[in-house]
Amino acid sequence: MPATGRRPGAKARRAAVTVALAVAVLSGCGGTGSADPAGAGGTAPARPSEPLSPPPAAPLPAGTGTPPGTLLVADFGADTVTFLDPGRGPIASVKVGTAPYGLAVGTDGRAWVATAEGVAIVDTRTRTSLGRIPYRTATGPVTDGEYRGGGMGIALAPDGKRLYTGVNVPDGPGTVEVIDTASRRVVATVPAGRRPFDVDLARDGSAVYATNHDSFDVTAVDTRTLVPRRFEVAPYGTEGGLGSWLKPHYAAVREDGRLLLPFEGERLAVLDPRTGRVTIEKMTANTHQHGAALTPDGTLLAVGTGPIGSSDKEASLTIRTKDGRERIVPLDGPHEDVAVSRDGRTAYVTGGFTRDGYWDGITVVDLTTAETRRLPGGQRPLGIAVL
């Protein structure tokens, strides 16, 4: 889809970025190097002060049950998942495998974690490892970092019987692996696009969607027939290829079945998977965007990572109501993904970030007052779930 309606100067800036990236090492979000919170040569705007973090929580003794509302994060910078008290911080960790990325939790208390080595299983009630399921897809040597092979996005069917994992294959197209959760075996492999950052399910479980970062598209898979379809989602076009900053990252599935994909704090791509049609709505944060989630009332939360590429403004959380009204909550430093409390009043935004500039903790956002506080915990936490 051709790019239209850019703010003055944005086209020239993006063209310069594309030229520079063409001679650089190609990266996931374009270019290499660390994120500059102030933008190139700029000055970071003042942020509201954040309340001091509370004293750390005491570790939970072995054999003690995990309280409802506990947070679980995937430690992309380590080989663990960390359990956090949402008011006090880390209370336990469990080893799962190299560079865990996304995670999904079932009603039975089992967490499924996409690592570089396979899908790990954790009993969240007892905080113990239940083993790991190897991938069927060949992903090369086990490594860590942003471009490592292995699982990325992951989603669990509503009935808990099937698990869908987006598997990255370095320098090639990825797959969606289907796991039978009873036998704990991969039962099918479906072709997908490059680097499936996120995996989401239709509300009724009839389809699974892989958001393919490096191929500018979404793979939609019928969960009954396992027949895939590919839909381009590129509101700025695909110029620059692998070096472009303007690629899809995460999606949220709306109640009507459409997928919401935020881009650059400027455009919200709305994909109808029945027709493949993409419509564009205006956004206002003007920041490179990654994680996305919906609250129970349909409010979209979109994580802004800060001024990367052509984006000008700092990291933030966009709170966008169903009618398109937005509030922008400033965040201190880059963030990656977001989860919502069961009552829909609190957002938990992970500080892991896939690029440089990450930090070890989450920001807790009151969605009513927009007040924020930092909660330490985890090691470069990416995926997050509320238990």
Mean pLDDT by 10 residues, the chain (387 residues): 36 38 42 33 36 64 86 98 97 98 97 98 97 98 96 98 98 97 98 98 97 98 98 95 93 98 97 97 97 98 90 95 98 97 97 93 98 97 98
Provide φ and ψ at 22, rounded to 5°.
Answer: -65, -25
Asked, for residue 158, whether it belongs to a domain, the answer is yes
Q: Which of 271, 245, 224, 315 is nearest to 20 (CA)?
A: 245
Asked, for residue 18, whether it belongs to a domain, the answer is no
pLDDT in the model for residue 29: 64
Distances (CA, A) of 64 to 57, 59, 61, 129, 133: 15, 10, 6, 15, 27
94 half-sphere exposure, CB direction, 13 A CA radius: 25
287 half-sphere exposure, CB direction, 13 A CA radius: 29
Residue 156 buriedness (CB in 10 A; 0-12 / 13-18 / 19+): buried
| CATH number, domain with residue 178 | 2.130.10.10
| DSSP strand pairing (162-168 vs 346-350) | unpaired
pLDDT in the model for residue 55: 64
Asked, for residue 30, whether it belongs to a domain, the answer is no
pLDDT in the model for residue 310: 73
Sheet containing strand 110-114, edge to edge, reads 103-105, 110-114, 119-123, 128-133
Cβ(263)–Cβ(235) below 8 Å? yes
pLDDT in the model for residue 74: 98
User: What is the rounded distance in angstroms from the CA atom of residue 197 to the CA atom of residue 245?
Assistant: 14
Number of domains in the chain: 1
pLDDT in the model for residue 59: 80
Amino acid found at 383: G
Asked, for residue 254, whether it belongs to a domain, the answer is yes
Residue where the block lists tokens 């206002």 = 284
pLDDT in the model for residue 155: 98
pLDDT in the model for residue 135: 98
pLDDT in the model for residue 2: 32
Identify the helix (H) or strand (E) that includes residue 14: helix 10-22
Asked, for residue 17, whether it belongs to a domain, the answer is no
pLDDT in the model for residue 53: 52
pLDDT in the model for residue 345: 98
Provide φ and ψ at 10, rounded to 5°.
Answer: -65, -35
Asked, for residue 31, whether it belongs to a domain, the answer is no
Instruction: Give helix then strand counts, H and E, for the chain.
Output: 1, 28
Q: Which of 94, 90, 114 is nearest to 104 (CA)?
A: 114
Cβ(132)–Cβ(96) below 8 Å? yes
Q: Which of 154, 67, 161 is nearest to 107 (CA)?
A: 161
pLDDT in the model for residue 58: 73
Distances (CA, A) of 373 to 59, 68, 140, 336, 369: 21, 21, 40, 16, 12
Asked, for residue 219, whether it belongs to a domain, the answer is yes
Asked, for residue 6, whether it belongs to a domain, the answer is no
Cβ(150)–Cβ(137) below 8 Å? no
pLDDT in the model for residue 378: 96
pLDDT in the model for residue 11: 38
Query: In terms of residue numbers, what domain contains 374?
Result: 60-386
Percent of the chain with pLDDT over 90: 80
Distances (CA, A) of 357 to 40, 252, 265, 307, 333: 14, 25, 19, 12, 7
